[in-house]
Amino acid sequence: MSALVESSTDDTSIAGVERAIELLDGRVSVFLTGAGVSTDSGIPDYRGEGAPKRTPMNVGQFLLDEAFRRRYWAGSHRGWRRFASVTPNDGHRAIARLEAADLSVGVVTQNVDGLHVRAGSRRVVDLHGSMEQVRCLTCGQMFSRESIAERMVEQNPGFDLAEDEELGPDGDAIVSGIDSFDIPACTVCGGILKPDIVFFGEFIPRDKFEEATQLVSSADVLVIAGSSLVVNSGIRLLEQARRARKPVVIVNRGVTKGDSRATVRIDAGASETLSAIADGLLS
């Protein structure tokens, strides 16, 4: 299968959308989305063009060092209010529209923002978990993120919830002056609390990845949007589709690790491109 790689100019982006619509017409798709799908909702991308250089906390730091946990929870506390207030954009809604019309089996997302669900998507596999839940690493008790936020307000009454910090894709913010910040603990057993997301250095739970592979298997076409495919899970799903001889459409600003394997490659923003594709298929 030859690759039709589209450049970033307006004319060829339009041509790429037309080719994607032609490819998707009469077929059922599955979507794989990354941070680039949520940038138009105000959530930044770690790796996209123009993204600031950041080194996210890894799971070893979080688990082994209370100072790292304090920095994480202080930053997450400041970032959560803004993170939780963002709304789905046209790209999220386009994916949900296609599922509602039975033209898509659902979406596998690398994002932890919950925006696909808020947009109306019914079948969502959160590969990296969701920021809306917090888990005790000792007893397994689950808490809502909102309840943890309320507890941190009570525990840290003098902590400024300023809104001008640099926000990260996981709802974290860059903070300082946190030596006295009181981090939350499990109210059941006193254990360490961790957002129910996959940190850098962690493996995706096996059952979650199997759910994603089943979703890809049930579709005719894989559409990858807003992901540079640096994370191994995305490449594995792309390879699954390629081995099954399923067409692959990639929509992303800038290069991705899967470009040479794409049937159609569109170098453009996810929101406008997915909206145009949905409009074309539903018209």
Domains in the chain: boundaries: 4-282
147 in a known ligand binding site: no
Using one digit for the tens of pLDDT, what is the confidence trace for 102-143?
A: 999 999 999 999 999 999 999 999 999 998 899 999 999 999
Using one digit for the tens of pLDDT, what is the confidence trace for 204-222?
A: 999 999 999 999 999 999 9
Question: Helix, strand or coil for residue 250?
Answer: strand
**Which of 277-281's residues contact partners 24+ apart within 8 Å by CB, and which partners?**
277/17, 277/20, 277/21, 277/24, 277/94, 278/94, 278/95, 278/97, 278/98, 280/17, 280/18, 280/21, 281/21, 281/24, 281/25, 281/98, 281/101, 281/103
Does domain 4-282 fall under CATH 3.40.50.1220? My reply is yes
pLDDT at residue 172 in the model:
58
Instruction: Taking residues 213-233, report their average pLDDT.
Output: 96
Judged against a pLDDT cut of 70, whether residue 49 lies above it is answered with: no
136 in a known ligand binding site: yes
Using one digit for the tens of pLDDT, what is the confidence trace for 166-184?
A: 555 555 556 667 888 999 9
Catalytic: 116?
A: no
Judged against a pLDDT cut of 90, whether residue 83 lies above it is answered with: no
Instruction: Taking residues 215-234, report their average pLDDT.
Output: 96
pLDDT at residue 75 in the model:
85
271 in a known ligand binding site: no
194 in a known ligand binding site: no
pTM value is 0.87
